[in-house]
A = this chain, B = another copy of it.
């Protein structure tokens, strides 16, 4: 059996990567969505185990100490990380894995998994991104300013991803991910079975 593929989906806050990932998983329920852990408190509407696994600072310390995280980083004073064990298990079982993570986290994952597929979800325009970030009523003006500055820095890194998907509509965004996944399955690293079959003497 061929192994699953590791995919990283990043992009600035407000570009809609969460919506695209949710819809993709709905259509391809065998895909494993890596849920990040964080030590921060849930925002209104966030569900434990869905948006994040919300854990204590002490449990986060333990995960780091036990080499249980693929990557972790600090945003706005709180730590976020990607648990390692469930991801490796899913890939061995032939399931694709999606990481929906920040650009900094994506770069950290690539160092360990260079054969992964790295996708950047971009907004169709800067104006729209600004409006969407300002429209969230859950944050202070300072938090919005911080997010805008971070988005600008993330857009600088965009060309270093394997693929850029412009999120003009969710339908187009999901279709683009599907095409990327289909073509990524055709890479030699994912086709060991046929290579061995055709190269046997």
Main secondary structure of the interface of A (DSSP, over half): helix
Copies in the assembly, this chain: 2
Q: Determine which residue in A162, A164, A165 has the highest number of CB atoms from chain B within 10 A of its CB, and name it.
A: A164
Count class of interface residues, chain A? 20 to 34
Task: List, in ascending order, chain B residues with CB within 8 A of A179's CB.
Answer: 179, 182-183, 186
Q: Which single residue of chain B is at the shortest CB-CB distance from A176?
A: B186
Q: Is A25 an interface residue (CB 8 A)?
A: no
A125 to B182, CA, bound (A): 22
- A164 touching B180, Cβ below 8 Å: no
A126 to B199, CA, bound (A): 9
A162 to B183, CA, bound (A): 10
Which A residues contact B (CB, under 8 angstroms)?
A: 122-123, 125-126, 155-156, 158-166, 176, 179-180, 182-184, 186-188, 191, 194-195, 197-200
